[in-house]
Amino acid sequence: LWMYSECYLIKFLSIFLFIYFFTGDEMFSDIYKIKESENGMMIEVEGKMISRSEGDIDDSLIGGNASAEVQDEGCDSTTVSGVDIVLNHKLQETSYDKKSYTAYIKDYMKAVKAKLQEVSPDRVDPFMANAPAEVKKILGNIKNYQFFTGESMNPDGVIGLLDFREDGVTPFMLFFKDGLEIEKCVSL
């Protein structure tokens, strides 16, 4: 399901955001290497491991004028490390075993099918034909995945599956394509 809406940002580039259509959670954007599966069911998003400082704010950026005589304790900065997709889009880790993921994915598939019937009826048959094979692959590798939901942590939201390439260093995430819509943010 590739629905389209626009938002306008003051930037010098345009970005496509991939949003889960039931919750509005931003799952990833087109700044990453994105590949669609052969059957068109899944989107694979390649990320990288990063570390960055958070909480380090220069007072002058918010109108502060520190005195040379008075020592200010300032803000404590912390270093956060993880997968850039997860950190940049505020994805929240959750957990599933085979049984709980099976229960989740059945409800998720019903919800996506109903939405597709409403907005993109031509996608219903391909979705229903190919979804069981994708679910079978996921369940066969369930121990390899870390599971992430959107920032809202809505239990009905899409689950991104995080795994690593054979090199053990390069992370990638998998998402069901038909649960997402694209929002284009264009520069002014």
Reported as a single tens digit per residue, the pLDDT across 8-33 is 433 344 556 666 656 778 888 888 99
Asked, for residue 40, whether it belongs to a domain, the answer is yes
| C-alpha to C-alpha distance for 83 and 147, rounded to whole angstroms | 13
| C-alpha to C-alpha distance for 150 and 90, rounded to whole angstroms | 7
150 vs 60: which has the higher pLDDT: 150
Asked, for residue 69, whether it belongs to a domain, the answer is no
> At 50, which helix (H) or strand (E)?
strand 49-54
Give mean pLDDT, residues 133-158.
92
* CATH code for position 164: 2.170.150.10
Asked, for residue 26, whether it belongs to a domain, the answer is yes
18 within 8 A of 3, measured Cβ to Cβ? no
How many domains does the chain contain in total?
A: 1
59-103 pLDDT tens trace: 544 555 555 555 555 566 788 899 999 999 999 999 999 999 999
pLDDT band at 176 (very low <50, low <70, confident <90, very high): very high
Asked, for residue 18, whether it belongs to a domain, the answer is yes
149 vs 24: which has the higher pLDDT: 149
Asked, for residue 59, whether it belongs to a domain, the answer is no
Asked, for residue 55, whether it belongs to a domain, the answer is no
Predicted local distance difference test score (pLDDT) of residue 2: 46
| C-alpha to C-alpha distance for 38 and 152, rounded to whole angstroms | 30
Asked, for residue 74, whether it belongs to a domain, the answer is no
Decide: pTM greater than 0.75: yes
The domain of 44 spans: 4-50+84-187
101-135 pLDDT tens trace: 999 999 999 999 999 999 999 999 999 999 999 99
Helix, strand, coil percentages, rounded to 5, for the chain: 30, 35, 35
